Chain A
Amino acid sequence: KQEVTQIPAALSVPEGENLVLNCSFTDSAIYNLQWFRQDPGKGLTSLLLIQSSQREQTSGRLNASLDKSSGRSTLYIAASQPGDSATYLCAMYTGGFKTIFGAGTRLFVKA
């Protein structure tokens, strides 16, 4: 069964701290992996997309890595801000138009 697991389920950090969100997946035949942000009651905002041939992607204070051999991806957020508070979801796409989401990590950045 294809699964995506995110750890931790929730995280609270003080403003300015660097943090890492973890995502593990069971299928090494991953096509791409995507990180999203979701604010309460809202839709998804795509943050970073990593193709299977890539090791990492960067956008501003965000850096996402992908290690297919170990079935892991990490999202690194530098210098966290209260505005970063949201739920972060990772999703893997294995081809055949199947995307599987993790349960998410709820992040709270304290001012």
Chain B
Amino acid sequence: GAVVSQHPSWVICKSGTSVKIECRSLDFQATTMFWYRQFPKQSLMLMATSNEGSKATYEQGVEKDKFLINHASLTLSTLTVTSAHPEDSSFYICSASKTSPSYEQYFGPGTRLTVT
């Protein structure tokens, strides 16, 4: 168990458009989901933490109006990149956490976004 999916796995969009990425926990309920971005040959940087039914908590330097996060249910969180620009091109990874004591995170396969 503990499978997390992301959709789409890759997307190419034009500058100025918006892109939505979905993150789903397939076989468990996730009270908390996390969004990371990863630039080539760099590590993951936490963008925001979202709890079901409440507003996301963004890390310092992450524009909340640009990266809209909605955690609508215990199995779905979405990240919308609004008015995308080429510098937003990156690998976006989500993870989900159960309410168990370990707080272990289960990661999705990632979404590669390319903005042209």
Give chain A's interface residues, CB within 8 Å of chain B.
31-32, 34, 36, 41-46, 49, 51, 89, 91, 93, 97-104
In order of increasing CB-CB distance, the 5 nearest A-B pairs are: A43-B109, A44-B107, A43-B110, A101-B43, A103-B43
Give chain B's interface residues, CB within 8 Å of chain A.
6, 32, 34, 42-46, 49, 91, 93, 95, 97, 102-110, 112
CB distance from A33 to the nearest CB of B (A): 11
On chain A, the residues within 8 Å of B102 by CB distance are 32, 49, 51
Cα A36 to Cα B6 with chains together (Å): 18
On chain B, the residues within 8 Å of A43 by CB distance are 6, 93, 107-110
On chain A, the residues within 8 Å of B95 by CB distance are 44
Cα A31 to Cα B108 with chains together (Å): 22
Cα A51 to Cα B102 with chains together (Å): 7
Cα A45 to Cα B43 with chains together (Å): 14
On chain B, the residues within 8 Å of A102 by CB distance are 43
Q: A98-B49, A99-B34 known; 18 other A-B pairs, CB under 8 Å? A: A31-B103, A32-B104, A34-B104, A36-B107, A41-B91, A43-B108, A44-B107, A45-B107, A46-B105, A49-B104, A51-B102, A89-B44, A93-B103, A93-B105, A97-B49, A97-B103, A100-B46, A104-B43
On chain B, the residues within 8 Å of A49 by CB distance are 102, 104
CB distance from A22 to the nearest CB of B (A): 15
Interface of A is mostly: strand
Name the residue of chain B whose CB is nearest to the CB of A106.
B41
Name the residue of chain A whose CB is nearest to the CB of B94.
A43
Partner of B44, one of A31, A42, A46, A101: A101
On chain B, the residues within 8 Å of A97 by CB distance are 32, 34, 49, 97, 103
Name the residue of chain A whose CB is nearest to the CB of B33.
A97
Partner of B43, one of A46, A51, A89: A89
**Residue contact A41 to B44, C-beta cutoff 8 Å:** no
What are 21 A-B residue pairs whose CB atoms fall within 8 Å in the complex? A34-B104, A36-B107, A41-B112, A42-B110, A43-B93, A43-B107, A43-B110, A44-B44, A46-B104, A46-B105, A46-B106, A89-B43, A89-B44, A91-B44, A97-B49, A100-B46, A101-B44, A102-B43, A103-B42, A103-B43, A104-B43
